[in-house]
Structure 1
Amino acid sequence: MKHTLGFAVVATLGASMALAEEVKPMAVSFADGTVAASLTGVAGDPVNGRAVFANRKQGNCLACHTNSDLSEESFHGEVGPPMDGVADRWSEAELRGIVSNSKMMFEGTIMPAFYIDSGYTRPLDDFAGQSILTAQQVEDVVAYLMTLKEE
C-alpha cells in the first residue's frame, strides 16, 4: 500500500510538472516592467538561485552588486544597487521583470537582459539565439532574492 501511494504521489507531481509550460523569452508578458506570472509554473529554488547569482559564468550578479549574504565570495561590484534588503524594496513580480529584462523597467540601464534570445549582439556565435539564463534559473534567482530582507 505504501509503495502504491508513493507511486501515486510521484506520478501526480510528475504530471503537474509536465503541465507547467515554460514561457519562451520573447513571449514574456511585461506590465510596467513587471512580470506577474511565473516563467515556468514551478516554484523557484532559492538555494539554486543563490548559486546562479554567485556563478561567474551564469548570473555573474556579483560583478555589479554587493550582497552580504555571499560574503564568502570575493570581488563584489558596486555599479548596481546592493542586494541587502532587495525583497523589501521590490515585489516578486518586479524582481522577475528586472532579472528577465531590466531594460523594461529601467531605461538606459547597463544591466543585461538575462532572459531574451534575440535583439542583441553576443560576442560568441555559440551563444547566439540563447538567453543567458533559463526560465527556471530566472525563477530560482527571484526566489533567492525574495529571501534577502532587512534584518
Structure 2
Amino acid sequence: MKISFMMAAAAGLVSSGAFAQEIAPTAVSFNEGAIEHSLSGVPGDPVNGRIIVGDKRQGNCVACHEVTDLVDIPFHGEIGPMLDGAGDRWSEAELRGIVANAKIMFEDSMMPSFYKTEGFIRPGNAYTGEAADDTFGPILSAQQIEDVVAYLSTLTE
C-alpha cells in the first residue's frame, strides 16, 4: 500500500512538470522563431529578469534597447526596438524565441543569440572579451532566459 501511494505521488510529480528537464541549447525547437515550451521547466521570475535585462555583466539588453522601467540604469541604446510594450507585441513563446536566438525570427538582427552554443565564428566568452575556452556555454542559462521572458511579458502599455 505504501509503495503504491509513493508511485502514484511520483507519477503526479512527473505529470505536473516538477521533474521537468532543462532543454539544452542544441535541442531547442523553434516554430517560426517562437519557442513554445519553457527552456528550464520552471516559471520565470520577472524580478530577476529585470535585473538581467539591466545588468551589463548578464543580459545587457539596455546596451541596445530602451526600457522606461529601467530609467535608473544609464546609457540605454537605440539600436534595437524600445522594449516598452514588448508583452503586448509578442507572445511568451515569441519572446522566448527572440531572447534565445533572435536571428531565427529576424534574420538580419544584430541581437546576440543568448541561448546558443554552436555555429559561431570566433566566439568569445560572454562579455569578458576573452576567447571561448572549454567552459563555453550560452550567454544566459535556460532559467535566465525564462526570467527575462517573464519580465518582458510584464512590459505592457
**Common topology (TM > 0.5):** yes
SS state at 1:23 partner? coil
Give, in angstroms, the shift of residue 41 of structure 1.
Answer: 1.0
Amino acid at match of 2:71: S
**Aligned runs of 1:60-139 on 2, under 5 Å?**
60-120=60-120, 121-123=122-124, 124-126=131-133, 129-139=136-146
Q: Please, which runs of 5 or more residues in structure 1 have no aligned partner? A: 1-11
Q: Please, which runs of 5 or more residues in structure 2 have no aligned partner? A: 1-11, 125-130
Distance in 2, matches of 1:98 and 1:58, equals: 16
Amino acid at match of 2:123: R
SS state at 2:154 partner? coil
| Counterpart in the other structure of 2:42 | 42
Amino acid at match of 1:24: A
1:81-114 residue CA offsets vs partner (Å, 9 max, x unmatched) = 0011110100000000000000100012110000
Taking structure 1 as the reference length, the TM-score comes to 0.85
Q: Is the CA contact (8 Å cut-off) linking 1:122 and 1:128 kept in structure 2? A: no
Give, in angstroms, the shift of residue 129 of structure 1.
Answer: 3.2
Give, in angstroms, the shift of residue 72 of structure 1.
Answer: 0.3
Identity, % of aligned positions: 56
Amino acid at match of 1:80: G
Q: Structure 1 residues 55 and 17, CA, compared in 2 at 3 Å: closer, same or farther?
A: farther
Taking structure 2 as the reference length, the TM-score comes to 0.82
Give, in angstroms, the shift of residue 18 of structure 1.
Answer: 6.0
SS state at 1:146 partner? helix
Q: Structure 1 residues 75 and 148, CA, compared in 2 at 3 Å: closer, same or farther?
A: same
Distance in 1, matches of 2:50 and 2:35, equals: 20
Distance in 2, matches of 1:127 and 1:149, equals: 40
How many pairs align?
137
Post-superposition, which runs of at least 4 consecutive aligned residues in structure 1 deviate over 2 A? 125-129
Give, in angstroms, the shift of residue 126 of structure 1.
Answer: 3.4
Give, in angstroms, the shift of residue 57 of structure 1.
Answer: 1.1
